[in-house]
Chains A and B, each alone.
Chain A
Amino acid sequence: MSLRLVSAALLCVAVTVALAWAVLDRPLPEENLPDRVAAAMPESGVDHPVTAVLLNFRSYDTLLEIAVLLLAVVVALALREAQPDQPEAMGLDNPLLRAVMAWLLPLILIVAGFLLWAGSYQPGGAFQAGSVLAAAGVLLRLAGVTTAWLDNATLMRAGLALGLLTFLGVGLLVMIPGAPFLTYPLEYAGTLILVIELTLTLSIGLTLISLFRLTPPYADDPDEAREQAGKTP
């Protein structure tokens, strides 16, 4: 056992040293990407280079990323065990948390909205806003607030898929006048990016909330779980 640990430690030190050396002695990339991005900024429809790269120049990556998120939540839904979901079982019995929630929730929603809007001209955007929204959902659940609208399966699934479908829809729509897939026309680029970001925020938030809600507080004892499922151990 200790031999295993020592050899693992030696291996990791060797890998770290090799990587540190590789980082120190690296060639400058042939393509001058910052200049190319800066030159293309007027055509992007937004004023922040990271948002421009995410949602215009390399929007294909972002599209696939949303597909990955949707895939993760679909797999998690498929692995969900057939047991009644009990939101109140998770609620911490804490009046302070509930009282603070009433103040925090509007603030969280404003912050999410601001982050989404700020994405066009400064750091921010759909991912940050979506994560903040998801944090609001997690807090609600921890505070034991019943969220019946989240239990509506059809609505929830529509919300989860909305981001990807809108993104794909916009990407296909611009092909009608003859532009390539996901190449936005200059005059509508800002609007289209905002629409995509809005739906992405909603879908990312719902995805993260669903992934959190899909692991409700079951009895974690495996024997007990088997009894509940009616199987013989």
Chain B
Amino acid sequence: MSGALVFAWSGVLLFGLGLFGFIAHRHLLRRLLAFNIMGSGSFLVLVGLAQDGRGVDPVPHAMVITGIVVAVASTALALVVFRRWYRASGRTDLPEDT
């Protein structure tokens, strides 16, 4: 088992854990955290697999750093929106679709 595969599988595991958290929890902050764990998992898969085969591939690395910055910004934006939602409705979750 190569090192790249260890990283990729760890990423897959993180993605699965995040997906479960995202489905299982209702609280918006928990969902945001779960979503970020999913994102970290996919970044780890990209970075891990990029060092396989023909040496280190800088293109996925550049993509991941772009992705991390966008993820930070979108997380902060989500927090601003959640806070506004909580102050407007007093709820920490979204209403169910029935």
Contact = CB atoms under 8 A, between A and B. Distances in A.
Nearest to A80: B80
A23 B9 contact: yes
A29 to B, nearest CB: 8
Contacts of B69: 65, 69, 127, 204
A8 B20 contact: yes
A204 B69 CA distance: 9
Interface in A207-233: 207-208, 211-212, 214-215, 218, 220, 222-223, 225
Interface stretch (A49-57, A110-118, A151-159): A49-57
Contacts of A5: 24
Given A16-B16, A218-B87, A75 B77 contact: yes
B20 to A, nearest CB: 4
A75 to B, nearest CB: 6
A221 B95 CA distance: 19
A215 B79 contact: yes
- Which of under 10, 10 to 19, 20 to 34, or 35 or more describes the interface residues of A? 35 or more
Nearest to B67: A65
A125 B87 CA distance: 38
Main secondary structure of the interface of A (DSSP, over half): helix
B13 A16 contact: yes
B84 interface: yes
B88 to A, nearest CB: 8
Contact of A32 (B54, B65, B73, B90): B54
Instruction: Output the residue of B20, B23, B58, B76 with the most chain A CB within 10 A.
Output: B58
B58 A26 contact: no
Contact of A23 (B5, B24, B58, B66): B5
Contacts of B33: none
Nearest to B68: A127
B54 A34 contact: yes
Interface of A: 5, 8-9, 11-13, 15-16, 19-20, 23-24, 26, 28-29, 32-35, 37, 49-50, 52-54, 58, 61-62, 65, 68-69, 72-73, 75-76, 79-81, 125, 127, 131, 204, 207-208, 211-212, 214-215, 218, 220, 222-223, 225
17 contacts: A8-B20, A8-B24, A11-B23, A23-B8, A23-B45, A32-B54, A34-B55, A49-B58, A50-B61, A53-B59, A54-B62, A65-B66, A69-B70, A72-B73, A75-B80, A208-B76, A218-B87
